[in-house]
Amino acid sequence: MARPKPANVPPKPWWRSRSVLIALMVHAVLFLGLFQLHYTEAEWDRLNVLNGSSPTVGQAVRTLLREHGVMGVLTAYFEVHREIVLYHRYSELALRSVDVTRPPTDPAQGHLRPYRDVLVEYPPGALLVMLVPGLFTSDFENYLHIFIAWVGLLCLASLFLGLRLFSTRPMKPEPLARGLWGSVWFMACFGPLLAARCDFAVPLVCLVGAAAYDRAVHTNSLVWFAAFGATIACGVMVKIVPGVLLLAGLICLLAGDRRPQWKPAAAVLAGFLAMMIVFNAACYAAWGEGFLRCYTYHMDRGVQLESTYAGILAAAHGAGRPLAVEFSFGSVNLVTGYTGLVKTVSPLLFLLVAGIVASRFLALRRSGASLASPVFALLLLSTILLLAFMLTGKVFSPQYLLWIAPLLAVMRGVRRDMDRLFFVFLAAAGLTQVIYPLFYDQLGSMYPAMILLLNLRNALLVAVLAGLIWRLPALLQPEADNFNGGTTSAAATAES
């Protein structure tokens, strides 16, 4: 017969939890092992010669098996590192004023500047993320290995920061394990592409902003609210999308209580605008009008092949509507007479979704219901708005899912009632891997099966968005049976 557990035994610390340690080990194996697998450019050239022109998938696999065995096929699956070549180029440009695409004998080498001399489509904050591996090496092969490990660190930092915000102190192992395993399942569904993109910086800066907001709410300090706004501006300088934190924060402050909190909202706006002015003025002074191209570049882009609109237009193409495909702005885009309409409708649809979210949030607060925690409300609203931005935008690259995957994993970690929506999101992530990179050429050739899969993936993400909006009142209120004794706020737990 099992011996009964003694009463008042303190909970086991998270670093002694087998589930947590195994999940961390899986992350390490992926980012330090499997995601590192790749062929050198010379080896790819040799394999392409052996395959000949336009090989079938079966022929390519047979060549890999003959030349490298099973490990060759596995390496080819994890070989999705083309974007890291671009990151390495920008890193060398920022750190050493060298453009690796130009001849070493070019007299301009050693004097080049990003934005001013070489077009860079990313904001300066993204350059900071890219150049970190370049601090340790200038060689591409070494840069690649360090970059992938750096991406893994950004991923884990997001998970730990988020779970620290919403867990009791000391942190319990169960919510941490649920969050980490949610991350593992996402990586298994989404595939190795996530290790070759710097988009994990987006949820990290969102969670840093959430931490500043949490501090502001609990100190009721206008200085901290201004710091929250300044943090959002820093995030916008990494990627434009953390700007949804500003909208989410204003919704929380102006619709999150019976009386709008005008002074804190004004402090947030002041901090945001001040930091944006300082950053952009400094960047413009350093790089001139070339710096503005990192904004106009994305405004000029067309309807990208994986967007919600593209799926609908591609289905209409199957019904006889004229359509063409082109490669521009570093991606595959549709050439259609509806591009202008999409550019007009896209921001209006996003504002419509934001208005629906704000109205449901306001109705909940006017009903007198209590929030689980203000910072959880901010994170939930930010996640909804990020997903809405993806689905209503004219551009939807697969790595955009990295913006919300850690945020959903964090919320799943501290709330059981997030499981169902999270698993729908995992299904969408799995279809995304099939679409890109596995069968992207077939999608570009308008194969009906791939058009169907694209629309199914987008429909699943729309279902996640609709589910989050529909369940917003329930998710914003304390869960009776969660992992933190009925609250999702570490600070609220400590205060109580």
DSSP line for 160-202: HHHHHHTS-SSPPHHHHHHHHHHHHHHHHHH-GGGGG--TTHH
CA atoms within 13 A on the CB side of 51: 19
pLDDT at 81: 87
Percentage with pLDDT > 90 across the chain: 62
Q: Is 8 helix (H, G, I), strand (E, B) or coil?
A: coil
Query: How confident is the model at residue 125, as a pLDDT?
Result: 92
Of residues 395, 435, 233, the one with CA closest to residue 310: 395
Backbone angles phi, psi at 334, to 5 degrees: -85, 140
Residue type at position 11: P
**Distance, CA of 177 to CA of 160 (rounded, Å):** 11
DSSP states of 438-455 as a string?
A: ITHHHHHTT-HHHHHHHH
* Amino acid type, 122: Y
Expressed in angstroms, the distance from the first to the final Cα of the chain is: 39
* Torsion 182-184-189-194 (CA) sign: positive
- 42-83 pLDDT, tens per residue? 888 898 888 887 777 788 888 889 998 999 889 889 988 888
Give 410-441 pLDDT, tens digit per residue. Answer: 999 999 999 999 999 999 999 999 999 888 88
> Is 361 in contact with 381 (CB distance < 8 Å)?
yes
- Whether the per-residue pLDDT at 174 is higher than 70: the answer is yes
Q: Report residue 494 CA to chain centroid gap.
A: 31
Residue tagged 């696999």 (tokens): 61
Per residue, the 3-state secondary structure of 402-425, as one string, reads HHCHHHHHHHHHHCHHHHHHHHHH
Domain boundaries, the chain: 28-146, 151-489
Cβ contact 382:244 at 8 Å: yes
**Among 164-173, 238-247, 387-396, 436-445, where is mean pLDDT lowest?**
164-173
What is d(CA 353, CA 365) in angstroms, rounded to the nearest whole number? 19
- Report helix, strand or coil for 256: coil
Task: Please choose, from the candidates 86, 126, 372, 389, the residue with its C-alpha nearest in 3D space to the C-alpha of residue 246.
Answer: 389
- pLDDT by residue (tens digit) across 86-143? 999 999 999 999 999 999 999 999 999 999 999 888 999 999 999 999 999 999 999 9
Rg (CA), the chain: 24
Give, as one character, the DSSP assignment of residue 35: G
The pair of three-digit structure tokens given for residue 207, joined into one six-digit string: 């969670």
Rounded mean pLDDT, 372-396: 93
Split at pLDDT 50, 70, 90, the class of 494 is very low
* Spatial CB neighbours of 262, under 8 Å, sequence gap ≥ 6: 254
Q: Which helix (H) or strand (E) holds 278?
A: helix 262-287
Which helix (H) or strand (E) segment holds residue 251: the answer is helix 244-255
Q: Which of residues 73 and 35 earns the better pLDDT score?
A: 35
